[in-house]
Amino acid sequence: MPTLPWTTPNTPPARVEAHVFASRFETRTLWGSLRFFARTPAIWRQVGRAPGAYGATLKAAPLRRTFWTLSVWESPKALRDFAAGAPHGGISAGLRGQMKDSTFLTWKASTDELPLHWTDVLSRFE
């Protein structure tokens, strides 16, 4: 299962409350999974330059048609701006018809807890 390593686009201040966003996507078909996977690099580049992004990673099981994202943000507004911006906004709209199931989770964490670990995050989806 490929996992993109944790990246830190902006160094977070110490001991500050951050906004965590996690998602789980399941595509309807293997073709949808390949489309999702093929668009990941463009969004990954966007995360790398997104204002307010404190960290991000992605876990992919393309043959199981399942993807998980994890990102930490300075504020809900920073996350909304990223999600609406290019290329994320257009790509997510274009893939909407490929999705079988999507789950979104949010919570707060201290920046001292970063990077977050997948074992903890995946347990939240159960």
Fold of domain 3-124: Alpha-Beta Plaits (3.30.70)
Q: For residue 70, what are its two tokens?
A: 């994890």
Dist CA 72 CA 92 (whole Å): 19
C-alpha triplet 104, 77, 114: angle, nearest 5°: 65
Dist CA 125 CA 103 (whole Å): 8
* pLDDT tens string 70-93: 999 999 999 999 999 999 999 999
C-alpha triplet 20, 25, 31: angle, nearest 5°: 145
At position 97, the amino acid (one-letter code) is G
Q: What is the pLDDT of residue 1?
A: 63
Q: Residue ranges per domain, the chain?
A: 3-124
Q: For residue 118, what are its two tokens?
A: 């997948």
To which residue do tokens 């995050």 refer? 121
How large is the average pLDDT for residues 13-30?
Answer: 97
Confidence of residue 37 (pLDDT cuts 50, 70, 90): confident
Question: Is the pLDDT at 11 greater than 80, yes or no?
Answer: yes
* pLDDT tens string 38-60: 999 999 999 999 999 999 999 99
Q: What is the mean pLDDT of the chain?
A: 96
